[in-house]
Amino acid sequence: MKSKNLSEKILKSVKSKGFKYIELPSVIEANHIVQRSGENFRKFIFSFTDQNGNELCLRPDLTIVSCLRYLENNLKGKEKIFYSGQAYRKSQNKKDSIIRNQIGFEIIGSKDEKNDDKEIINTSLKSLQSLKYSSGILTIGNVEIFNLLLSKLDIPKRWRLRLSRHFWRESYFNDLLKRLETNSDVDPTIVEVDKKRYIQMLKQDQSTVIAGRSVGEILKRFNDKIKDPRRTNKGQRVSKIIKEFLNIKCPISQAAKKLNEFFKKYKINLVVDQKYFPISNNKVSKLNVIFSASFGRQLEYYTGMVFRIDIKSNSKNKNIISGGRYDKLILDLGSNKPVAAVGAALNL
């Protein structure tokens, strides 16, 4: 009963901010999730086959289901919506629950990006009024700044795309940085071996698949390397810049200052205004507000502002709310153009 009352209070506070309640389906086509998150994600979902042979799954994520609803119903323009329910996902940690009770709220199809970001955070803060806690931290990041930094670095285009695409896979991302530092893939001996293999592969059937890629795709990637080579003396510097950037962490009021000092130090043609961030106060209610350049690596679909609220209650630290901007998610799900979207989920 206590949990139900808490849920009703939070739903009421979200509704008071002008959000409209919607129902979401519990079962969706599995290919929507697998295509978006990769084949590796299949092991985390609960899937089954219906009588027509279609693979279905229990929803592992409410945000994706909400965006599918917007797309499949051919909705246009701005929507402020909220919903509640359970998401079902397996975990590598056996102690984690497979059921997540959540309340989510989103603004979809609006072009007022900065005000929408603020509104999602303010709605999150208002929902906290229903909870008892002693202190907490609101962490804010922005994936867009990282991608802007990549666009200014002296590395081949394919490396920019690679680092951007795998930013959310922290372990693999760190492996990529090591490759940049050591330049192992541009070692003259290895390059000569690659060239010999390249000549051999030219004689093969281009549609033959090797390690998940067709021969044609592998040859195209090698051609890109030849046309856009990476100089051995650049990798170490680029890796150093990226690592230093990701270590930037400070009170939110100093975020623009710290970033601009970093850009100036490495002569990177970027400037960030403090108004770029949805909050500038270092303290909001019982929360300390910080900026972290590395934050935003939890989900692949974030494209801009990201945030997380952790609270301390009964001597325990709990992640209670996470959210951010995902302007490409509806496009990736099948739309013919990007649709702006920002939202958050509260974990009950």
Q: Where are the domains of the chain?
A: 2-24+59-148+241-347, 184-229
Q: Please report the pLDDT score of residue 163 as a whole number.
A: 93
Q: Please report the pLDDT score of residue 44 as a whole number.
A: 85
- Candidates 1.10.760.10, 3.30.930.10, 3.40.50.300, 2.40.50.140; correct CATH number of 2-24+59-148+241-347? 3.30.930.10
d(CA 162, CA 149): 14
Q: Please report the pLDDT score of residue 189 as a whole number.
A: 52
Residue that the structure tokens 């009352």 belong to: 5
Whether residue 318 contacts residue 310, with contact meaning beta carbons closer than 8 Å, is answered with yes
Give, for 293, the enclosing helix (H) or strand (E): none
Q: Which of 75-89, 163-177, 211-225 has the lowest average pLDDT? A: 211-225
DSSP string, 15-79: HTTTPEE----SEEEHHHHHHHH-GGGGGGS-EEE-TTS-EEEE-S-HHHHHHHHHHHTT--S-E
Whether residue 326 contacts residue 302, with contact meaning beta carbons closer than 8 Å, is answered with yes
Q: Please report the pLDDT score of residue 1 as a whole number.
A: 43
| pLDDT tens string 179-236 | 888 765 544 555 555 667 777 777 788 878 776 678 777 777 666 665 545 555 678 8
d(CA 330, CA 348): 26
